[in-house]
Chain A
Amino acid sequence: MTAAASLPEVERPRVGFGLFGGAIAWLVHLVAASIIAEWGCISGLHRYQFLGITAIAWSLIALSVVALLVAVAATWVVYHANQRDEGVTETGDSADVYDTRGTNKFLARVGLWSSALFVFIIAVQSLPILYFLKEC
């Protein structure tokens, strides 16, 4: 079996999600959170409260949870891709010029580290919400 045949086409979307899922979740979280905060504070949304917490804070918490879930899912996907290719080095075998498995391994490892980092970044970025539960 050739190396190319060992990487089904279906793997590409998975690796793609693992590679960029965390980053996109972070970007959407950042932009949406700043829009919600800015628009909510201007429109007076913070006057609506539930359990003593403003509607803005609830929206931001919900957004953060969704973004974290997406980033964690991306990490999980590439973690498994990485595990499956155990024993393969990301520089590949020099006899395999096109090195499909090595490239796959490389992308999975890059995706794993970057997604994990974005999980952390989204979590850190969400912490300030806890300081603004009752005000803008």
Chain B
Amino acid sequence: MPRTPESEQQLHQTWAPATGFPGVLSEVNNRILGMRFMITAFIFFLLGGLLALLMRIQLAVSHNDFLGPQTYNELFTMHGSTMMFLFAVPFLEGLAMFLLPMMIGARDLAFPRLSAYGYWVYLFGGVLFYTSFLFGAVPDVGWFGYTPLSTSRFTGMSTDFWLLGLSLVEVAGLAAAVEIVVTILKFRAPGMTLGRLPLLVLTLLVIGVMILVAFTVLLTATVLLELDRTLNTSFFDVNRGGNNLLWQHLFWFFGHPEVYIMFLPATGIISMVIPVFARRPVVGYVLIAVAILVTGFVSFGLWVHHMFAAGLPTVSMTFFAAASLMIALASGVQVFAWIATLWGSNPQFKAPLLFSLGFLFLFVLGGLTGVMVAIVPFNQQIHDTYFVVAHFHYVLIGGVLFPIFAGIYYWLPKMTGKLLSPRLGQLNFWLTFIGFNLTFFPMHIMGFLGMARRVYTYPRSLELDGYNLVATCGAGLLGLGVVVMLVDVVYSLKRGPEAGDNPWDADTLEWSIASPSPDFHFREFPIVTGRHPLWDPAPAASNELTALLQLREELADEPQFWRGTLVTDATDTRPVAIQFLPGSTYIPFWTAIGTLVAAIGVLAKAYIMSAFGGAVLVACLAIWLLPREATLKLLRESDLPSRTGLPVMSSGSSSVAWWGMVGLLSIVGSGFAALFYSYFYIRLFSEQWPQEGLARPELWLGGAAYAALVGAAFCQRWGMSRFRDNDQGGARLRYAAAIIIAAAYLGLQIWDWLEVDFTHQTNAYGSLYFVLSGAMALMVLVGLALTGSVLLRLGRSHPRDHVHLRLHLEITTMFWTVAAVIAALVFTTLYLSPYLL
């Protein structure tokens, strides 16, 4: 339809955010949620920074009694956990949520309600974390929570605060990852092929996938530790066959990729900023893309270099040392590409570029010491000294915080519509840069001279007072830099000059729209024909372009009365559908409340409260996921399919729900992989298996149970095939049979649990047996809920909802197919392997 002022006004109305206080709880728009994420993360950053300043005051002179040892333990735990879990990743996720749709030409993220749920869970997790101060139970086991120190034998409620707060934040991270990956795959503007992606978007795609794997492994590890603490399982209890190194393996399998989950988007920011201020395209786009992919992959093979002092076989450590050295290649490629981009250019030294240059300098230093700590003998010498503290702060502040600051100066005009002060920006940069180096460079020397980390003071005889005093003064300057930045932001909000649409004359799509952007971002979808949409010449005429321009004309300001955006093919970006996007709703908020109540119940050992929270969570999810008749009616009656040839209900890989299920199953698969790893790791170090002469599991019983499970999955595939042949009655029959067979599996599994002569508390084998089979049963229960909902709709839904129903069946069948594969692996692990290994 032609664009008119009335159609634009209607579009504004359709996308208008909810107002008033209750509206705050129901907001789902990416622009607002992204900013909320960033502001909340920045508040946590300020808190974490304050804790760091207190620690630096304590360490300013030797034998200081400003903080006692216990308080110091608590502060370094909270500082590390805050910066790693509550600031860096959530801030970057918030930035991604805010920017992504604008950068790729979409109107919102793929799952707006999931964005809102992620935000609330993150906020609740962070607040729960800090509530520990009110209860005098502040976590004190380090941001890594090593066992056995973090087991219930040595710590009380404080570690539960840490574990549960952390778990909520991890859930938020996973939600954001699914959101980011599916949005990039499905909502890119026509023409924004993989080879034309803005590099920040490419880094976000890579870290989205990394989060799905890494965060799930940590979530699994935290659940296992919480089970040890609350239900007396023994995964990490050596006296009952558990293994403390298992925690270190699981934690660092997350922990090292976590560094790159923060670092890669930071490099993406640099790759956006440098070309704009150098006024030329980035040099070596393909090589930077290679570096991003290789870094993402290799980061999963470095975790053991955090354990070089843990007593692993030397030959094993050398593999990881080699891999750790190799990642420097990928990082080096990016550094040279940025230098080459600046080389010979006439750069504009504004705040974003200054922070980018600061990043280059500091990250190279941090990278060089990274190569040093990758070498086993050197690592063992400086392990747990301040050299390591210096190294990782150069990487994390130099490599992540400086790019974040560059990003804030670069994109804040797009968020607020106001420009920041160039003078205050420069002052902030120099204060931060000088303060940072004064704080952390001396720590290299302190480490060499023997200053141990995580200790609240040091003897005067080490003669480290001078270095420490300099470091403390530097920390003060660093803090002052942050204050200057805050003043700059507040001043610009009140009196800053208007930014205009594109104050930097930048090249990417977000700068083609107003600052601040409208809630729907684009009235009509953009068409991309190169890597620099705003710098590229107008595209040459072609039949495809003409067809696209016609479609764009037809879709201008559409859909008018519901929120929607264009869906494109994941590989070639051809338009394939129009996606309905939900508007404001309280459901994500209440779902997050259910999650929080369940977590608090575990914390307070009030399991009835946990059950209540779980029930609220399940009820909210049911309301959330079941299709609403009003929505279906709206889509049924839409005239867009006849006008544009694009469906408003889609199935298969054209649908975002299909990709969402792929994301969910990736999380489930990673969780099971961590459990399998735990099983075989503990098996490896056990002299006898099953431990303590327990009987091996009954093959026939397990075989019958898991065969039933595979049969249930098969029935559903059969049902899906009947549905495709338009035989809804036959499909119903098969889905009903699947429910009965799956229920038979549950009955057999319960029988098996009752038959065995051990419990989850007997030893680590018992814990593994019950947790692995229990996780499988839980997956089956979720599958049964999905199948039940399919049965409710089959034969009853409106004929024009056929595509929507097919999607429902497809994702249910996909879930069960993966469940069958996992079931086969669980059976092999639990029932067959004790006979074979």
Contacts of A95 in B (CB 8 A): 529, 539-542, 545
A110–B571 Cα distance when bound, in Å, is 15
A26 interface residue (CB < 8 Å to B): yes
Contacts of A31 in B (CB 8 A): 301
A75 interface residue (CB < 8 Å to B): no
A77–B573 Cα distance when bound, in Å, is 25
With A37-B313, A132-B315, A136-B314: A42-B685 Cβ-Cβ less than 8 Å: yes
With A94-B536, A124-B326, A132-B314: A26-B195 Cβ-Cβ less than 8 Å: no
Is B316 touching A97 in the complex (CB atoms < 8 A)?
Answer: no
B: contact size bracket: 35 or more
Q: Which residue of A lies closest to B677 (CB)?
A: A31
Is B195 touching A97 in the complex (CB atoms < 8 A)?
Answer: no
Contact mask A81-112 → B, CB, 8 Å, 1/0? 00000000011111111111011011101100
A34 interface residue (CB < 8 Å to B): yes
Contacts of A129 in B (CB 8 A): 315
Is A38 touching B545 in the complex (CB atoms < 8 A)?
Answer: no
Please list the 10 inter-chain residue pairs (A to B) with the smallest Cβ-Cβ separation, ordered nearest first: A106-B195, A128-B318, A95-B540, A94-B529, A125-B322, A37-B316, A113-B290, A132-B315, A95-B542, A97-B191
A39 interface residue (CB < 8 Å to B): yes
B325 interface residue (CB < 8 Å to A): yes
Is B545 touching A121 in the complex (CB atoms < 8 A)?
Answer: no
Contacts of A121 in B (CB 8 A): 298, 322-323, 326
B530 interface residue (CB < 8 Å to A): yes
A97–B551 Cα distance when bound, in Å, is 14
Is B527 touching A97 in the complex (CB atoms < 8 A)?
Answer: yes
A117 interface residue (CB < 8 Å to B): yes
Is A103 touching B195 in the complex (CB atoms < 8 A)?
Answer: yes
Give chain B nearest CB distance to A53 CB in angstroms: 13
Contacts of A113 in B (CB 8 A): 286-287, 290
Contact mask B277-293 → A, CB, 8 Å, 1/0? 00000000011011001
Most buried by B among A42, A94, A124: A94
Is A26 touching B293 in the complex (CB atoms < 8 A)?
Answer: no
A33 interface residue (CB < 8 Å to B): yes
A30–B293 Cα distance when bound, in Å, is 17
Is A97 touching B315 in the complex (CB atoms < 8 A)?
Answer: no
Is A94 touching B319 in the complex (CB atoms < 8 A)?
Answer: no
Contacts of B531 in A (CB 8 A): 91
A66 interface residue (CB < 8 Å to B): no
B254 interface residue (CB < 8 Å to A): no
Is A128 touching B301 in the complex (CB atoms < 8 A)?
Answer: no
**Chain A residues numbered 116-135 whose CB sits less than 8 Å from any CB in chain B:** 117-118, 120-121, 124-125, 127-129, 131-132
User: What secondary structure prevails in chain B residues at the interface with A?
Assistant: helix
Is A4 touching B316 in the complex (CB atoms < 8 A)?
Answer: no
B815 interface residue (CB < 8 Å to A): no
Q: Which residue of A lies closest to B545 (CB)?
A: A97
Is B548 touching A97 in the complex (CB atoms < 8 A)?
Answer: yes
Contacts of B304 in A (CB 8 A): 34
A26–B573 Cα distance when bound, in Å, is 31
Q: Within the complex, which residue of A23, A60, A110 is in contact with B297, where a contact is CB–CB below 8 Å? A: A23
Is B293 touching A114 in the complex (CB atoms < 8 A)?
Answer: yes
Give chain A nearest CB distance to B753 CB in angstroms: 30
Is B319 touching A37 in the complex (CB atoms < 8 A)?
Answer: yes
Contacts of B293 in A (CB 8 A): 23, 110, 114
**Chain B residues numbered 560-583 whose CB sits less than 8 Å from any CB in chain A:** 571-574
Is B320 touching A34 in the complex (CB atoms < 8 A)?
Answer: yes
Give chain A nearest CB distance to B112 CB in angstroms: 28
Contacts of A34 in B (CB 8 A): 304, 316, 319-320
B190 interface residue (CB < 8 Å to A): yes
Is A92 touching B313 in the complex (CB atoms < 8 A)?
Answer: no
B294 interface residue (CB < 8 Å to A): yes
Pairs A–B under 8 Å by Cβ, sample size 14: A23-B293, A34-B319, A37-B316, A38-B313, A56-B315, A95-B529, A95-B545, A97-B545, A98-B191, A100-B572, A106-B289, A125-B323, A125-B326, A128-B321
B312 interface residue (CB < 8 Å to A): yes
Is A94 touching B540 in the complex (CB atoms < 8 A)?
Answer: yes
A41 interface residue (CB < 8 Å to B): yes
Q: Within the complex, which residue of B287, B316, B572 is in contact with A38, where a contact is CB–CB below 8 Å? A: B316
Most buried by A among B315, B322, B537, B574: B315
Most buried by B among A31, A97, A114: A97
**Chain B residues numbered 519-572 whose CB sits less than 8 Å from any CB in chain A:** 527-531, 536-537, 539-542, 544-545, 548, 571-572
Contacts of A93 in B (CB 8 A): 540
Interface contacts beyond A41-B316, A121-B298: sample of 9 additional A-B pairs, CB < 8 Å, sorted by A: A23-B294, A56-B315, A91-B195, A92-B195, A99-B529, A106-B286, A121-B322, A124-B325, A128-B318
Q: How many A-B residue pairs have CB under 8 A?
A: 143
Is A98 touching B573 in the complex (CB atoms < 8 A)?
Answer: yes
Q: Which residue of B lies closest to A7 (CB)?
A: B572
Contacts of B300 in A (CB 8 A): 27
With A102-B195, A113-B286: A94-B530 Cβ-Cβ less than 8 Å: yes
Q: Within the complex, which residue of B195, B290, B316, B684 is in contact with A99, where a contact is CB–CB below 8 Å? A: B195
A110–B284 Cα distance when bound, in Å, is 11
Q: Which residue of A lies closest to B685 (CB)?
A: A42
A107–B195 Cα distance when bound, in Å, is 8
Is A98 touching B325 in the complex (CB atoms < 8 A)?
Answer: no
Give chain A nearest CB distance to B572 CB in angstroms: 5
Give chain B nearest CB distance to A121 CB in angstroms: 5
Give chain B nearest CB distance to A22 CB in angstroms: 9
Is B544 touching A96 in the complex (CB atoms < 8 A)?
Answer: yes
Is A42 touching B195 in the complex (CB atoms < 8 A)?
Answer: no
A98–B300 Cα distance when bound, in Å, is 33
Give chain A nearest CB distance to B280 CB in angstroms: 15
**Chain B residues numbered 156-198 whose CB sits less than 8 Å from any CB in chain A:** 190-191, 193-196
A99–B325 Cα distance when bound, in Å, is 37
Q: Within the complex, which residue of A23, A91, A103, A127 is in contact with B571, where a contact is CB–CB below 8 Å? A: A103
Q: Which residue of B lies closest to A105 (CB)?
A: B195
Q: Which residue of A lies closest to B376 (CB)?
A: A128
Is B294 touching A136 in the complex (CB atoms < 8 A)?
Answer: no
Give chain A nearest CB distance to B206 CB in angstroms: 12
Contacts of B537 in A (CB 8 A): 94
A95–B527 Cα distance when bound, in Å, is 12
Contacts of A37 in B (CB 8 A): 313, 315-316, 319
Q: Which residue of A lies closest to B197 (CB)?
A: A106
A99–B617 Cα distance when bound, in Å, is 45
Give chain A nearest CB distance to B524 CB in angstroms: 15
Give chain A nearest CB distance to B599 CB in angstroms: 33
A131–B531 Cα distance when bound, in Å, is 48
Q: Within the complex, which residue of B289, B319, B530, B544 is in contact with A98, where a contact is CB–CB below 8 Å? A: B544
Give chain A nearest CB distance to B684 CB in angstroms: 6
Contacts of B506 in A (CB 8 A): none
B330 interface residue (CB < 8 Å to A): yes
Contacts of B325 in A (CB 8 A): 124
Is A128 touching B322 in the complex (CB atoms < 8 A)?
Answer: yes
With A34-B319, A98-B572: A103-B297 Cβ-Cβ less than 8 Å: no
With A39-B684, A94-B537, A113-B287: A27-B322 Cβ-Cβ less than 8 Å: no
Contacts of B684 in A (CB 8 A): 38-39, 42
With A94-B540, A102-B193: A33-B319 Cβ-Cβ less than 8 Å: yes
Q: Within the complex, which residue of A30, A39, A41, A96 is in contact with B323, where a contact is CB–CB below 8 Å? A: A30
A29–B658 Cα distance when bound, in Å, is 33
A31–B573 Cα distance when bound, in Å, is 36
Is A110 touching B290 in the complex (CB atoms < 8 A)?
Answer: yes
A31–B290 Cα distance when bound, in Å, is 22
Contact mask B651-675 → A, CB, 8 Å, 1/0? 0000000000000000000000000
B368 interface residue (CB < 8 Å to A): no
Most buried by B among A23, A90, A91: A91
Is A4 touching B572 in the complex (CB atoms < 8 A)?
Answer: yes
A31–B572 Cα distance when bound, in Å, is 35
**Chain A residues numbered 4-49 whose CB sits less than 8 Å from any CB in chain B:** 4, 23, 26-27, 30-31, 33-34, 37-39, 41-42
Q: Which residue of B lies closest to A103 (CB)?
A: B193
A4–B573 Cα distance when bound, in Å, is 12
